[in-house]
A and B are shown apart, each in its own frame.
Chain A
């Protein structure tokens, strides 16, 4: 296969019979086999070839979806019937779910081909992909660097051209930060936009699935296939947004008016690569958008609030891993308590244990009011910060992460410094808002991302603005070792 192609390029090539889904699948499998990033935990070759065969039949019968026959990878947090789902943990090393996650089922129905499951921080807890039981993932731009996390495997796989798109999940930045560090486009939709059913829970009130792709156009196509109300998820939103299908079928339309773009000053206070984000501002200003300074005064509280709430929810979400019904079970337990203690001690890694401990602590009698309740109160203030600025502006522009990809091991012994990686992504998660990270430049050969944040259920604004930016830049088309993404099949 010549070079790296977008989803839409593959879709039209399949439609025009320039390639079969089986050929496409085999080419991708070959690339994965030669992968040096450790971005896959499981390669589902037989499954992929079978799905490709069925997709080819559908393509021939003209009963196909634009995504029919297009290969993808799922973050290993999504349950896949018949394919191991590890969640990056020894605890679930051999777990095979008897059901598909709702997202997986939707993409299967569209006819997409699952190549395999991508590596991730254990139970999605981490910002560097170093907490995976299956070893760290390397950043394809520099194999000594981390790809970000927790959807690091998905981001690295797309950046390395192993696959044109992958699913990710974002609890505090786990789609956007790795997308920024790997130079791809990552969209965290509004909380409730995509069903959480079958997506292994980390922090239920924050977890949200989303697409990780080459560009905004592909993100719109994926979002349309992944989104929708699901009666199996009580927090799933009932929405009728016609633009979802329109964007997917006809491409993202030009913005119908200049936007008012807010620049939250708290996100620009401490920036080492300020000139890059300034260049983004200039590009957008040239398109006629108005840029204004705004303030989100409770931003500084977001990290502690996030780690209290996410930890609290995680501590009980992970109680089910007790060695009784599924998952890792210690050898020869001597008693019930021994079974619990050893199964969980052996099955979970350090970062997961750290969060279970802090979460258990903050929910305990005597600490609950001081931590959990207080955190919920501040969460509301953070939410109100956003409502206030969105009364005046259409969208916010911020850096996605404080730094480009850092070296493996650099922050491993300093969890607090690691948590600061999420500084710019966490507030949006707490407010449940949609946000998108898009490539916007390089520092020392490493990609940098810009984040767009919109009001709830206004992913159309994010996609519209990102598509416009990507028409006037080519950062998103650049790939390691001088290769480029092509939006056309024939080059």
Chain B
């Protein structure tokens, strides 16, 4: 039998506010344990939550970016459960009336197609603290620095159909929240985490199969792998006559498997009810409009602009616009050299290859956008050949010094093309004299040997000759 997977993701986006969602404590990552937890975060008796407006603005920004309904009236609820890293014994969240309603996101598929993925809702809530189980033998440490960090939980419809689609959705969401400036996107620090709901059904069947939920996955690779494994597991269970049980599962990257965390049948009753310490959140249409007016250019719009105003191919435009850092780097390069196409080639070619090899993010590129722009400028004005340009790029990469001057380095490394006709003519003459047979063939119309002769000239000049010029000189001398 052939199976189809049905996947929905719940993504927790840590909002990049300066202070926490209900207190004035800082949200910066990496402080000493419990150094960034104030009385409100600690849940001391008598303290009260006060909503951080910046978090509301970010949620609205997100809602507008996915074309969602913004609820002008939303309510904060208490989600009650006991856990040592949940100081109040409840988490403040939005249950029945979230701030962001239905929206959608256009998913670019690897085959060039596009799919619309529905977003059910997005709501504001506070993060819990961290339990540290491995630091103190036989005891659990509690770090409440993360307590009260604002989260936007984005719930998708069960519209995803494969592990790679889910990973792509996660990637695109990551790109979007970075674009909007509402999340730093740092996956290693847990700035985006996702829960995946996975089920399978026979191809063609409409009804959903029983689903399981994989909790707390925090990288693109893990999302894909965890879901892949879970789909395989479910198909395996069903094909050997078993049944899938509703449960929460954990992805263990080291063991490369998902396994049962807790059964949903024993799931807790969270006793949601409106938090009486917070009035209903009322925002005005004018506020929403002001946020809309200040929305940054989004990936889709940027992709269009790259194609229409800069003449890039759809592929280049998409690959350069889907990541904000990459797009900004690209635009900085174009700003220096004025040649979008060549800039795109270099970013997608040489620079990407080097970054991938070294596993470095573009924001930390050893070759600056300024330097790459100047390098491209020197190709454009024939100072560099494509070969010497690559040599120069390698040198810049090795130096990793943003202060390093491109022209000085060209001079220093002697990479300047031979653009002087007189000097080059001498070399061309020499090559033609040394290869009389090929010259004869060329004269008889065999254009193929032209390449050979040009190659000889390039060889003789150590690659510094301008191949176009060499071409012309050879033809002229015939």
Contact = CB atoms under 8 A, between A and B. Distances in A.
Interface of A: 78-79, 85, 87, 92, 95, 97-99, 101, 196-201, 203-205, 231-235, 312-313, 315-316, 319-320, 322, 324-326, 336, 340, 360, 363-365, 368, 372
Contact of A340 (B39, B43, B82, B88): B82
Chain A to chain B: the 7 pairs with minimum beta-carbon distance, closest first: A319-B89, A205-B276, A204-B276, A363-B271, A198-B46, A320-B43, A200-B45
B269 interface: yes
Contacts of A326: 44-45
Contacts of A233: 48, 50
A363 B277 contact: no
Contact of B82 (A200, A322, A364): A322
Nearest to B88: A320
Interface class of chain A by DSSP: loop
Contact of B84 (A95, A98, A234, A324): A324
B471 interface: no
B51 interface: yes
A315 B88 CA distance: 12
A319 B82 contact: yes
Contacts of A92: 45
B37 to A, nearest CB: 10
A85 B90 contact: no
Contacts of B39: 98-99
Given A98-B44, A319-B82, A365-B271, 4 more contacts: A235-B278, A312-B273, A320-B89, A326-B45
Contacts of A363: 80, 271, 273
A457 B471 CA distance: 93
B360 interface: no
B378 interface: no
A389 to B, nearest CB: 26
Contacts of B89: 316, 319-320, 322
Given A313-B276, A363-B80, A97 B90 contact: no
A233 B80 CA distance: 21
Nearest to B140: A336
Nearest to B34: A325
Interface of B: 39, 42-51, 78, 80, 82, 84, 87-90, 142, 269, 271, 273, 276-279
Contacts of B50: 231-234
A319 B88 contact: yes
A203 to B, nearest CB: 8
Contacts of B47: 99, 197-198
Contacts of B42: 325
A234 B49 contact: yes
A204 B45 CA distance: 12
A320 B87 contact: yes
A364 B49 CA distance: 24
Interface class of chain B by DSSP: loop
A115 to B, nearest CB: 21
A234 B43 contact: no
A64 to B, nearest CB: 28
A199 B87 contact: no
Contact of A234 (B44, B46, B88, B278): B278
A108 to B, nearest CB: 16
A336 B80 contact: no
A397 B82 CA distance: 45
Contacts of B82: 319, 322, 340
B25 to A, nearest CB: 14
Contacts of B88: 319-320
A350 to B, nearest CB: 20
B126 to A, nearest CB: 14
Nearest to B37: A325
Given A232-B50, A319-B88, A319-B90, A324 B142 contact: yes
A275 B476 CA distance: 128
5 contacts: A78-B46, A197-B48, A201-B45, A316-B273, A340-B82
Nearest to A79: B46
A200 B45 CA distance: 5
Contact of A325 (B43, B78, B80): B43
A87 B78 contact: no
B87 A235 contact: no
Contacts of B48: 196-197, 232-234
Given A319-B80, A319-B89, A365-B269, A197 B276 contact: no
B354 to A, nearest CB: 50
A204 B273 contact: no
Contact of B46 (A197, A316, A322): A197
- Chain A CB within 10 Å, residue with most, of B50, B51, B89, B279: B89
A319 B273 CA distance: 14
Contacts of A205: 276
Contacts of A315: 271
A97 B46 contact: yes
Contacts of A325: 42-43, 87, 142
A313 B273 CA distance: 9
